[in-house]
A and B are shown apart, each in its own frame.
Chain A
Amino acid sequence: MVALGVAVLLAAALVYTSFSASTEAKQPSQLLGAAPGTSADLTGRVVQGSIEQEGEGLRFRVADRDGGGESIPVTYSGTVPDPFRGGREIVLTGEVENGVFVGERDTLVTKCPSKFTTNDS
């Protein structure tokens, strides 16, 4: 009985906090007109040739995953995973400020390239 009670409590806490602690995943096209202060997990593809060093951080643009549409400018500082470069899919937590997506330090995740599948360029 005690165990069951604890389990129910834990489950309730998990459900409750996960919805409040999570951040929504958005593509650049969904963020372009977003109000300042909107926080999100930005997912999309890094625009080829857009990566520039800026002080200790980076500045680049991210477009929707299918490559179409407008891209959003992004600033980010912190660790850069090895696979990060133009054309790669990334996920970055942060918020929109003045039309620029400001990434939180050390939250950049780069999806592994697919030298793993047969039909990839």
Chain B
Amino acid sequence: MTASLGGVALALAFLAALFAVVAALAARKGDRRWVLASRRAVYATCALLTLCVALIEIAFANDDFSFSIVQQHSSIQTPAFYKLAAMWSSQEGSLLLWAWVLSIASSLALYATRDRLREIVPYATAVMAGVASFFTGLMLFAGGVNPFSTLSPVPADGVGLNPLLQHPSMMIHPPMLYSGYVAFTIPFAFAIGALVTRRLDASWIRATRRFALIAWALLGFGLLLGARWSYTELGWGGYWAWDPVENAALMPWLIGTAFLHSIMVQEKRSMLKVWNACLIVATFALALLGTFLVRSGVLQSIHAFGDSTVGPYILGLIAVVLIGSTALIVSRLDDLRSQKRIDSLASREAVFVVNNLLLVGLCATVFWGTFFPLIAELFTGERASLAAPWFDRYTTPLAIGLVLFTGVGPLLAWRRVSWASARRVFLVPGAMAVALAVLLVLFTDAAAEQWAFALFVFAAFALVGLGQEFWRGAAARRSLRGGSLPAALVGIVTRNRRRYGGYVVHVGIVILLIGVAASSSFQTNRDVRLAPGERATVDGRTVTYERPTVAVDEQKFTLGAVVRVGQDGKSFVLRPSRRFLRPTGTSGGTISSFFDGEATTEVGLQAGLGSDFWIAMRPDVTAVLGQAQAADEGFRACVRGAPGTPPQCRAVSQLMRAAAADPALRPSAAAQIQGLQEATAARIAKTYLEDGTPATFRVIVDPLVTWMWIGGLIALAGALIAIWPARRPRRAPIADNELEALKEAKYREIRDAELDHAAGKLSDEDYALLDAELRKEAVEILDSANGKPQKVVQS
């Protein structure tokens, strides 16, 4: 019943999205009724998909196994929390999530632009609704991926959610990544609209910048959560493996980062229009590619979720997006070209261009490495793959370059900077970086790892430079308005959210990269095999395997260890363990069936600002498994009542025979057998405690890895600051023409120059020159806005 309701809602959502496309195209001549109709159709799609998601989630919560999606991905025993997250562990559920998030983002974007961008919006609506109808249509027509397909007869229980996925991150990691992918549709759609209508000023960028930033933040947070999950749960102690699916999420993030920087150049200087159009198309295509890779199984990946039916369709969509957008950009080249050139290499826009090239280079490297197996097969006929060292070789120098320019960029003003100004801002950060380099060489062996050493030095430069920006900004504000330093800091950040939010992101990313460099270059990583009571020394710490632990319940057999780690007279205890789970969805069964299902590692982790101590255990289960199998054999003999079975078995045999004859006795017989099996399992567990079987431990001492998580969270906070709408009285409704856009951008430029001068970034002469230039340009804009027959000089 609810399934058919859901099926109808999904079909209606598809039709509503299709109607939105048609209505939007009908609205391109500016008929307000069609504009309204298309917008409402998008809202309707959103409402219908929300209903679909709600119905699926209710089915999961109620264990409604008539839904095939519920039966395949959940079970009665699945904890309630994971029942709700199980939706997106399935192919059809994640497609629904895609379409749903897209419909939400599209509705928000259309609401935000309801009075603006009249020419662009119809085309943007058509693109967004087109993508939405593609994904809803996929669920309806591709076969095997309809979330509302049902099972008959209704099974009593489900297969359950893979225990590897039962981790709190499951609740947020996949939705974050998907939302990040999806949200890039919005700037893409508006870019297409701007290209079609040749409205190529910065107004489409201003309308969708926030969506690009949200997409970037969500994708980045999703990546960070994935890294954390891998580190704490997967039992190998790493956070990044250059796995194709990780790369697939990293690539749109990198290009998205480049896009967020280069659109500032377009906003301020009306340059790089072709580049920006290409970047957003690439970002969107890569986001689709990410969705495709997760679901297709073309590349070997730990995330490969099995071959699927939807792969070819998504590939088709990517082809359409790439070919269509390229044709569109080429046909608009004349409008996109900018007459201006970068004034000077010592300017912020020049640094942005360099940073863009580095980011695109990084992405190209990752792309090549990720798809190399396919490329190699094409050329040599043999599949071949590239391992982590190959990726590291190229990404390390590029990332270090990025850190350097992360430091340089914020110190430079727009347009040009004279030597005198530059000296003023570079002096302190440069001196501090050199000082750190000397200290590191004298007191640590960091210089042995040249790449990490370079990164630390550049990171110090960047962090001090950013700190100086905050300091000088706050000092300038204090000299104008007085007040305390913290109040001044809050003041400059709230008044310039984009600028200082961006700086906070930079601080976070630099701290994150310090963590990456330190933990990958200076990690100690060893396997030790210890019997209870034995100890080993790893990186100056004594690791003592004090005693084994066991725990048995209906679903899992847990073998663990109490490990004491001592250093410098202090010690702490960690309890790593490994859980052996019965195949999902069964709670009874033979004792050895504990070892038929998944096994998961619970690591022991002592995190610290200086370094993390990480330990995972791999117990030797040979003996336990042997005993379990022998016990199972014994039970089978007992049940058969074979001659020669021990006397305590006779009761069991009699019971089984009686139960075979009388169905009423079966439940109690089954309960009794299960009780006996549990007792036996407990006995076997106890022998493990006494045997003194050695276990293998993977011990990792990871310096500064905590900085990664802290840096990531700082970057996220910075993104939130930049996203948060500024609280200022709403001025006259933002007019929808190029001149208004230019005027507003010019005002902002004048204000930025003022701030840069106040913060000491521009010398008095530089500022006087720049300010005169900007004001002249502003007057020219105003003149032409007032209808004077003067040509607008977009300089």
Contact = CB atoms under 8 A, between A and B. Distances in A.
Contacts of A10: 361, 364-365, 394
Contacts of A23: 384-385, 387
A3 B305 contact: no
B302 A25 contact: no
Interface stretch (B157-165, B185-193, B452-460): B157-165
Interface string A74-114: 00011111110100000101000000000000110111111
Contacts of B373: 25
B630 interface: no
Given A43-B300, A82-B234, A117-B306, A19 B376 contact: yes
A111 B302 contact: yes
A14 to B, nearest CB: 5
Contacts of A43: 300
A118 B236 CA distance: 29
A18 B386 contact: yes
A6 B144 CA distance: 47
A115 B393 CA distance: 36
Contact of B357 (A7, A17, A81, A118): A7
Interface string B293-326: 0000000111111111000000000000000000
A52 interface: yes
Nearest to B301: A111
Nearest to A19: B376
Contact of A25 (B68, B72, B368, B384): B384
Contacts of B618: 80
Contacts of A55: 529
B698 interface: yes
Contact of A22 (B90, B357, B385): B385
B236 A79 contact: yes
Nearest to B243: A109
B698 A79 contact: yes
B91 interface: yes
A85 B578 CA distance: 14
Contacts, number: 131
B622 interface: yes
A115 B163 CA distance: 10
A115 B144 contact: no
B300 to A, nearest CB: 5
A120 interface: yes
A55 B90 CA distance: 39
Interface residues of A, number: 45
B376 A83 contact: no
B308 A117 contact: yes
A99 to B, nearest CB: 22
A115 B386 contact: no
A78 B698 CA distance: 8
Interface in B162-180: 162, 164
Contacts of A64: none
B383 A93 contact: no
A7 B68 CA distance: 50
Interface in B455-505: none
Contact of A113 (B527, B598, B622, B698): B598
B212 to A, nearest CB: 23
B688 interface: no
B237 interface: yes
B77 interface: no
A53 interface: yes
Contacts of B698: 79
Given A77-B527, A81-B235, A112-B302, A14 B368 contact: yes
B519 interface: no
Task: Classify chain B's interface size.
Answer: 35 or more
A100 to B, nearest CB: 20
Q: Which of A43, A79, A106, A107 has the most CB of B within 10 A?
A: A79
B390 A17 contact: yes
Given A82-B601, A118-B72, A113 B235 contact: no
Contacts of A22: 372, 376, 384-386, 390
A109 B238 CA distance: 13
Contacts of A112: 162, 164, 302-305
Interface string A1-31: 0010011001101110111011111000000
Contact of B305 (A11, A24, A78, A117): A117
A7 B622 CA distance: 55
B386 A21 contact: yes
B382 interface: yes
A31 B662 CA distance: 58
A56 B368 contact: no
Nearest to A111: B304
B396 interface: no
Nearest to A25: B383
B336 to A, nearest CB: 18
A113 B162 contact: yes
Contacts of B243: 109
Contacts of B364: 10-11, 14
B429 to A, nearest CB: 26
Given A80-B618, A115-B73, A115-B161, A7 B361 contact: yes
A27 to B, nearest CB: 10
B13 to A, nearest CB: 22
B584 interface: yes
A84 to B, nearest CB: 8
Given A78-B527, A112-B303, A115-B584, A24 B598 contact: no
Contacts of B164: 82-83, 112
Contacts of A106: 236
B306 A114 contact: yes
A107 B159 CA distance: 31
B369 interface: yes
Interface string B593-605: 0000011110000
Q: Which of A14, A22, A109, A110 has the most CB of B within 10 A?
A: A22
A23 B380 CA distance: 12
B385 A25 contact: yes
Contacts of A6: 357, 361
B620 interface: yes
A59 to B, nearest CB: 12
17 contacts: A14-B394, A18-B369, A18-B372, A19-B376, A21-B387, A23-B387, A24-B383, A78-B527, A81-B235, A83-B164, A85-B598, A106-B236, A111-B301, A112-B162, A112-B305, A115-B162, A117-B91
Interface of B: 68, 72-73, 89-91, 144, 159-162, 164, 233-237, 243, 300-308, 353, 357, 361, 364-365, 368-369, 372-373, 376, 382-387, 389-390, 393-394, 527-529, 584, 598-601, 616, 618, 620, 622, 696, 698
Q: Top 6 nearest A-B pairs by Cβ distance?
A: A117-B306, A114-B306, A116-B305, A22-B384, A25-B383, A79-B236
